[in-house]
Amino acid sequence: MLTLSSQLNTYLIMGAVLFGFGIFGLLRRPSLIGMLIAVELVLSGASINFMAFNRFLAPDPTVGQIITLFIMAIAAAEAAISLSIVIAVYRNYKSIEVEDLVELKG
């Protein structure tokens, strides 16, 4: 048990678990912000995978880290944009729930 930290599989499974939680949240959450939170989980699951491969398999361990840093930057930008969209949507429709938005469209 104590050597889990030096095995690739641990990280890959953790990545998969986070990814799964992300998908679960994405499907379950009725509201846009909740979905955004789930997306963040998905992204971090992916980042973990990158970092794990980077650590165990890559010849140049900087690349994975830089990719993760980029993911962070993109995630931040994505969060900013999507949250603003959510707020704009909320302002116009007084709701951030997906169902309502579908209804309002028709």
Partner 1 sequence: MNPSLFSPEGLAGIIFLILIGVTILGAIIATCTKRLIRSVTGLAVCFVGVAGLYYFLNSPFVAMMELLIYVGAVCVTIAFAIMLAEPDEARLARKISGLSGGLAAICGGAIAFALGYAAVNGTWMAAPAARANDGSLKMIGESLLTRYSMVFELISIVLLVAIIGSMALARGGRREE
Partner 2 sequence: MEQQALLDLLYVAAFTLCGLGFGFGPLLIVYLFSPRGTRNLVNKTRIPIECGMETIGPAWIRYGIVYYLYALMFLAFDVDVLFLFPVAAVYNDFPGMRGFVEIVLFVAVLSLAIVYAWNKGVFKWERKVYQQQ
SS3 95: coil
Single out the residue of 16, 17, 80, 104 in contact with partner 2 (rule: CB under 8 A).
80
Per-residue contact string for residues 4-23; x = within reach of partner 2 by CB under 8 A: -xx-----------------
Per-residue contact string for residues 42-81; x = within reach of partner 1 by CB under 8 A: --x--xx--xxxxxxxxxxxxx-xx-xxx-xxxxxxxxxx
Listed residue (63, 64, 42, 44) closest to 52, CA to CA: 64
Q: What is the CA radius of gyration of the chain?
A: 17
Under rule CB under 8 A, residue 87 binds partner 2: yes
Q: Report the amino acid identity of residue 41.
A: L
